[in-house]
Amino acid sequence: MSTIPREGIKASEPLRPEPATVLDVITETPNIKSLRLAFDDESLMQSFSFLQGQVGQLSVPGAGEATFAIASPPSQREYFQFSVMKTGVVTTAIHELRAGDRVAVRAPMGNTFPTDDWKGRNIVVIGGGIGMAPLRSLFMYLEDHRDDYGGLQLIYGARTPKDVCYLDDCRQWEAGSDIDFVTSVDT
Amino acid sequence: MKFIAAKKIPDLLGLLARDARVWAPLVPEDSADTLLFLPWEPGAEVDLERFTQVSPKKLVMPGSEPLFSFSYSMAVDCERLEIGDARGVPGAGGASDADGAGEAPGAATVLFGARACDARSLTVLDALFGLEPGEAYNDPLYRARRAALTVVTLACTSCDAACFCSSWAEGPASTEGSDLILYPVEGGYLARGVSDRGEALLVLDIWEESEQPLPELAETDRVPFGTLNTKLLEIFSDMDFWERATERCVSCGYCTYACPTCYCFNIFDEMRGSRDGERCRSWDACMFYLYTLETSGHNPRPTIAHRYRNRIGHKFSYYPENQGTTLCTGCGRCIRGCPVGLDIRDVLRGAGER
Ligand SMILES: Cc1cc2nc3c(=O)[nH]c(=O)nc-3n(C[C@H](O)[C@H](O)[C@H](O)COP(=O)(O)OP(=O)(O)OC[C@H]3O[C@@H](n4cnc5c(N)ncnc54)[C@H](O)[C@@H]3O)c2cc1C
Ligand code: SF4
Ligand code: SF4
């Protein structure tokens, strides 16, 4: 447990989220938006670190707090990203957010992938739909540490072509010569 | 040994209440059959015979409490997000005698008349929440309440058919979690300090000396745990067993709410007007369908059998594996209070024999 970073969370106040600002909103699919955020406290933002696959709690005060995977890689220091499917009270409020709006975040939490144990091996990452959120962070981490691993393959499925999340990333992965990228849609 | 006559118990409570809020087994106004840990006031008559229906865990984890207040507007040019302090929130853990409410974090509190199982359950929760910085999962509100709590335990010289604390080595003789223990004897109670905080109470000018020996303590039913923790993993997929075992359960959640060791909670916002609100948490229970309902509509624990299996698995397999102790102290409340008479011991014995 001690290896899991918790820098975004003040030890004295783990239940209290830290104010953060929405830097950018990306509409991924008809019901998924990605939000890029930064903590308002600059020193907190500088020390903020997490491991690929960890999650955070995003609050829209008044609507509540919900859990989302951190979809950006640990190497991204300018912002951290959540990709949110609209389903209920909190996620609907999140979908109404615009750049400049302020929210509150508790992160990082939860566990990571045992990426150290995978070193030297061929890695196949398989994901679908919004389940890609933590895998985007993972896959980008693997790309950041490309030399530590053998072949990198990403198999990504979605229900329909319009439900494919991270289209820009997909184009890059497709174009990348040392990545094997496979997409599939149900209909 | 220190001794106090039964008729002087109200005087002892009065002394304790000078520096702290005292919670003791009391009969609520409107319900003679009920016994709950409630704030004691002079004149209130404590019941040191019967068992309380709901555990005293609310004193370290209130049924519902605000975590902090906020003032928020989403629009860019409007008021900024401010996250306030829970301690300023009206009703922030402030004692009301509604069951489930406890004390504000850090307020000196005495739990009077806990049984050995109740006192020990606090140490079982400490294993999860930790008491010191850097330990376990830091829950500052739990820790503040825990540090301000003095536990005066009433040793059990009798028990009922639902009790099963003798399943653990020390049973009713356990001193874990207690600061002071009162032993019922002829005419009153012998008192033994367990911690420094308990010893300090023994200097109060109320105790007499007595030569009476410590009484024989109760001997309860025993559930043989043996290798139950691994057995429960083996029969995890044996849905036939779990369905039969839980045929009667109606998923009401009483067992988890009455339990001294269940600690699950949910977090939500309560608004006062359109801008100001409080982030709150309330007890939750794995016996509820919504507890694991995923947003997609999928529920990994769709039936009562799945949910009860989690309750048993968490208490007797996963928690022991992760925290080194069973998440149960044998208080028997879930057995006494279950509306359909489901007895957790039958399920545990049944699992052991599987
Ligand atoms: C570890 C983890 C990581 C996650 N990562 C992501 C992620 O990266 N991206 C993402 O989009 N999601 C993620 N989720 C899921 C996300 O947390 C949920 O979608 C979110 O909490 C929903 O919150 P809400 O307030 O919008 O929905 P709610 O309002 O709570 O509603 C959720 C669903 O329950 C139903 N519901 C609500 N209340 C009731 C009721 N009383 N009775 C019956 N039905 C009811 C609603 O109709 C809806 O279908 C993750 C979840 C976990 C646990
Ligand atoms: S109290 Fe009884 S009926 Fe209610 S959830 Fe527990 S076992 Fe089921
Ligand atoms: S998971 Fe169930 S049994 Fe375990 S603490 Fe929570 S409510 Fe109690």
pLDDT tens track for B256-283 = 999 999 999 999 998 888 788 888 999 9
Q: Coil, strand, or helix at residue A41?
A: coil
Give the tens place of pLDDT for each residue, B94-140: 434 445 667 888 899 999 999 999 999 999 999 999 887 767 788 88
**Percent of the residues in chain B that have a pLDDT greater than 90, as a whole number:** 78
* Residues A137 and A76 occupy one common structural domain: no
Label residue B35 by pLDDT band (50, 70, 90).
Answer: very high
pLDDT reported for residue B331: 98
pLDDT reported for residue B125: 96
Residues with a CB atom less than 6 Å from ligand 2: B 249-255, 287, 334, 338-340, 342
pLDDT at B78 over 70: no
Domain total of chain A: 2
pLDDT reported for residue A8: 57
Q: What is the pTM of this model?
A: 0.88
Nearest-Cα residue of chain A relative to residue B134: A11
Residue A2 included in any domain: no
C-beta separation of A58 from A85 below 8 A: no
Residue A102 included in any domain: yes
* Residues A92 and A138 occupy one common structural domain: no
pLDDT at A2 over 80: no
CB contacts, 8 Å: A19 with chain B: 81, 83
d(CA B251, CA B111): 30
**Residue that is last in its domain, among A56, A82, A109:** A109
pLDDT at A3 over 50: no
B70/A contact by beta carbon, under 8 A? yes
* Residues A86 and A150 occupy one common structural domain: no
**Residue that is last in its domain, among A109, A126, A143:** A109
Cis peptide upstream of residue B105 (ω within 30 degrees of 0): no
Question: Ligand 3, closest atom to CA B259?
Answer: 8
* Residues A97 and A22 occupy one common structural domain: yes
pLDDT reported for residue B3: 98
Which of B139, B151, B54 lies closest to B98 in space, CA to CA? B54
pLDDT reported for residue A82: 98
pLDDT reported for residue A183: 82
Question: Ligand 3, closest atom to CA B264?
Answer: 6
Average pLDDT, chain B: 91
Residue A13 included in any domain: no
* Residues A104 and A126 occupy one common structural domain: no
pLDDT reported for residue A175: 86
* Residues A55 and A78 occupy one common structural domain: yes
* Residues A71 and A145 occupy one common structural domain: no
pLDDT at B38 over 60: yes
The shortest CB-CB distance from A16 to any of B75, B83, B269 is to: B83
What is the average pLDDT across B307-323? 97
CB contacts, 8 Å: A59 with chain B: 279
Show the domain range for A129: 115-185
C-beta separation of A69 from A53 below 8 A: yes
What is the average pLDDT across A103-122? 94
Q: Which ligand is nearest to the CA of B286?
A: 3
Look at ligand 1, atom 9, and give the residue with the nearest C-alpha.
Answer: A84
* Residues A100 and A122 occupy one common structural domain: no
Task: Identify the residue among A25, A32, A59, A92 best suited for mutation to test binding to B, counting B beta carbons within 10 A and taking the highest.
Answer: A59
C-beta separation of B162 from B111 below 8 A: no
Residue B321's alpha-carbon distances to B128, B135, B314, in angstroms, are: 12, 17, 9
Residue, of A23 and B169, whose pLDDT is higher: A23
* Residues A98 and A127 occupy one common structural domain: no
Which of B142, B121, B136, B7 lies closest to B56 in space, CA to CA? B121
Residues forming beta bridges with residue B128, ordered by sequence position: none
pLDDT at B255 over 80: yes
pLDDT reported for residue A7: 53
- CB-based contact A62 B267, cutoff 8 Å: no
What is the average pLDDT across B211-224? 96
What is the average pLDDT across B44-70? 93
Residue A148 included in any domain: yes
Q: Estimate to the nearest angstrom the gap between the alpha carbon of B203 and the chain centroid.
A: 29
* Residues A62 and A39 occupy one common structural domain: yes
Lowest mean pLDDT of A145-149, B193-197, B213-217, B294-298, name the range: B294-298
Label residue B80 by pLDDT band (50, 70, 90).
Answer: low
* Residues A105 and A27 occupy one common structural domain: yes
pLDDT reported for residue B140: 87
Label residue B352 by pLDDT band (50, 70, 90).
Answer: very high
Residue A12 included in any domain: no
CATH value at residue A180: 3.40.50.80
pLDDT reported for residue B341: 96
What is the average pLDDT across B171-186? 97
Residue B306's alpha-carbon distances to B125, B249, B251, B331, in angstroms, are: 24, 12, 11, 24
Q: Which ligand is nearest to the CA of B304?
A: 2
* Residues A105 and A120 occupy one common structural domain: no
**Residue that is last in its domain, among A59, A81, A109:** A109
C-beta separation of A108 from A5 below 8 A: yes
Residue A73 included in any domain: yes
pLDDT reported for residue A11: 58
Residue A7 included in any domain: no
The shortest CB-CB distance from B76 to any of A59, A100, A103 is to: A100
pLDDT at A12 over 80: no
CATH value at residue A81: 2.40.30.10
Residue A41 included in any domain: yes
Give the tens place of pLDDT for each residue, A70-102: 999 999 999 999 999 999 999 999 999 999 998
C-beta separation of B81 from B61 below 8 A: no
CB contacts, 8 Å: A63 with chain B: 269
Which of B299, B292, B306 lies closest to B249 in space, CA to CA? B306
